[in-house]
Amino acid sequence: MKQLTILLACCCLMVACNDGANESEERKDGFSETAKTPEDSLYKLVMEGHDIGMAKMGKLRGLQQQAQRSLDSLNKLSSSENKAQWQQTLMDIQEDLNYAEYSMNTWMEEFNTDSAKDNPELRLEYLRTEQDKVEKVKNNILSSIQRADSIFKK
């Protein structure tokens, strides 16, 4: 029993000592969970903006479909001034939602996770620009969803 306890203690000690060995390895995924450099911190902020926007894409697509169904239903009604106003509102919402989706897709296609990875100054500049872009995309998604929700809940 004593030998088993000693063996277990040695194993724990080896695991604990080996835990820091991976810290010196080169990053493979563009960032570390714990930011070690300014690039890591900025990359993490960019990815947080992306993740917030992407988390809302399902809702955005559902609202796109709802807007299309509402337009289809509205087209079956006879013409009136109220119908024309409602139709314009729905088309505006649909356009906002479509643009929000388009902007996220475009940003994702153009974003380069390895941009200037060997030049920290250029990488920081690139990530700052991308942070601004993804923040606009995220805000566009959130505001178009909010506007659509406010119309459809009336």
The per-residue pLDDT for range 132-147, each reduced to its tens digit, is 999 999 999 999 999 9
CA 78 to chain centre: 42
Residue 28: inside a domain? no
Number of domains the chain is built from: 1
C-alpha to C-alpha distance for 105 and 148, rounded to whole angstroms: 20
Residue 22: inside a domain? no
C-alpha to C-alpha distance for 29 and 84, rounded to whole angstroms: 51
pTM for the model: 0.73
Residue 18: inside a domain? no
Residue 100: inside a domain? yes
Residue 133: inside a domain? yes
Residue 64: inside a domain? yes
DSSP letter (8 states) at residue 22: G
Nearest to 141 by CA among 90, 104, 88, 95: 104
> How large is the average pLDDT for residues 66-73?
92
Q: What pLDDT score was predicted for residue 93?
A: 96
Residue 6: inside a domain? no
Residue 57: inside a domain? yes
Domain range spanning residue 103?
A: 37-152
